[in-house]
Amino acid sequence: MTTSTAGLFALSFLLSVSAVGCVAYFTVGRLRRRRLPDFPALTGVPLPNPLPDFDITKARPRPYRPFRWVYHQHMSLKKMEPDYWLELESTYHERIAQRLKLYETEGSNVLAMLPGTEHACRELLEMVVQFLCTRYPKQFIYDECSGVLTNNILGTQSNIYEDHPLETLIRHVPEDFAFTLPDPKTGFYHCVAGVICSSVGWNLGEKVGKPLSEIHDVVPHYKEKMEFSMDRYFQKMPLDKPIQRGSWALEIQEPLYLQTTHKAWERRANPDPILTLDEVCIRVDWQTLRRLPRSRAIVFNFKALFTPIRRVRSEPYIPRLLLRILQDGDNKLLTYKGRHTNHVVLPALTEWAREQEEKGWVPKGWQERTLDEDPFFPGWEEAMKMY
């Protein structure tokens, strides 16, 4: 075969395969690099069930109410539900825009990555992409030929192998992520990277590089009740047992990102005499924790969800349970969470608890306890249809 004939043959071959695959543009090795790993096989955690008819405008988060009684500080861990590792809902456009604005103004206070963590960050991004494309197949599409993730909700694209992994996450996912890896000398886990836009009273810039004990040094009872068990749990955490838990607080309006230097902090630090019940929201940070299979990093992710306090009026047992916690719960924990809404919330909860007893929703003389449906409440699935 002459040189010119060989050239024409090669050109013909490239043109013929361009319509059916990526061979025309990438080498075989490059193709393999852009194929997402089989994370279910690597981790033992199945992919989520697809939602082919998902409509972001109608999607509502599950009504998490992680209220426990007796209320004291412990990890309160549950097995993670694979379908709900990440949860998209109707505030998606608003939250993504808010997070991008925060990154623009706050920089390394909301997004940071220490040297040596690139592999872990890229690995998480691959796992996130695989989850999104499986759970929301019409909204997210990944092209193995180019490595491009298409977001049909926002009408945007990102190359997951060429763009910054954490910046890609902040452009597509309304969840926060914190990466931890063990210190080579001590074995204790440190925060080494993250994208965190929903912190109240602290920020990622203050925490990155620190061990778990220092990250949680302001949390009441952490050192004496949780530090040892948390360090041991991180060191032994298996791949196939990711966990979930919820944290809650009562807030004024919806403070996604709030620092002690912000003017709005004054209303949180001290009871505001002009505060109204309509301004009060339950904030739930629904959290998961899982280990990545290749880098062995442990990733903590959470999402802030806000619910107007008035909604619990129609949620059986919740007013009575929350009232007991706010009145008789651990003083240090409740002070840490903030008591700035109690003067308007307690009278309302008292009224709603009495009202639910009168309607027969809650038996008279019911002794407050963690509900069997925790972190939800009886009838929560039907209630979701009315939200």
- Summarised one tens digit per residue, pLDDT across range 38-49 is 999 999 999 999
Joined together, the tokens standing for residue 123 give 């690995």
> Packing angle between helix 342-359 and helix 318-328, nearest 10 degrees?
140
Poorest-confidence range of 82-91, 172-181, 212-221, 268-277? 212-221
**Mean pLDDT value across residues 292-312:** 96
Report the pLDDT value the prediction gives residue 82, as an integer from 0 to 100: 97
Average pLDDT value for the chain: 88
Report yes or no: 340 and 252 within 8 Å, Cβ to Cβ: yes
| 230 or 241: which leads in pLDDT | 241
How far apart are alpha carbons 76 and 70 in whole angstroms? 12
Report yes or no: 309 and 250 within 8 Å, Cβ to Cβ: yes
Report yes or no: 84 and 62 within 8 Å, Cβ to Cβ: yes
Measuring CA to CA, how many Å separate 198 from each of 88, 135, 254, 283, 308? 16, 24, 10, 11, 18
Poorest-confidence range of 62-66, 122-126, 151-155, 264-268? 264-268
At 211, give phi and psi (nearest 5°).
Answer: -75, 165
**Mean pLDDT value across residues 170-186:** 95
Report the pLDDT value the prediction gives residue 264, as an integer from 0 to 100: 87
Where in 120-160 does DSSP place strands (E)?
140-143, 148-151, 156-159
- Show Cβ contacts of residue 56 under 8 Å, excluding neighbours closer than 6 positions: 88, 89, 90, 92, 139, 153
* pLDDT exceeds 90 at position 304: yes
| 387 or 301: which leads in pLDDT | 301
**Mean pLDDT value across residues 141-148:** 96
How far apart are alpha carbons 186 and 299 in whole angstroms? 19
CA angle 236, 241, 246 (to 5 degrees): 100
How far apart are alpha carbons 93 and 152 in whole angstroms? 12
pLDDT, tens digit, for every residue of 354-382? Answer: 999 999 999 998 999 999 999 999 999 99
- Show Cβ contacts of residue 246 under 8 Å, excluding neighbours closer than 6 positions: 64, 66, 76, 284, 285, 286, 287, 375
Report yes or no: 118 and 165 within 8 Å, Cβ to Cβ: yes
Report the pLDDT value the prediction gives residue 332, as an integer from 0 to 100: 78
CA 73 from centre of chain: 21
Q: Are strands 140-143 and 280-291 parallel, antiparallel or unpaired?
A: unpaired
How far apart are alpha carbons 159 and 260 in whole angstroms? 37
222: enclosing H helix or E strand: none
Report the pLDDT value the prediction gives residue 226, as an integer from 0 to 100: 67
Joined together, the tokens standing for residue 278 give 């309509």
How far apart are alpha carbons 214 and 257 in whole angstroms? 21
The side-by-side arrangement of strands in the sheet containing 140-143 is: 140-143, 148-151, 156-159
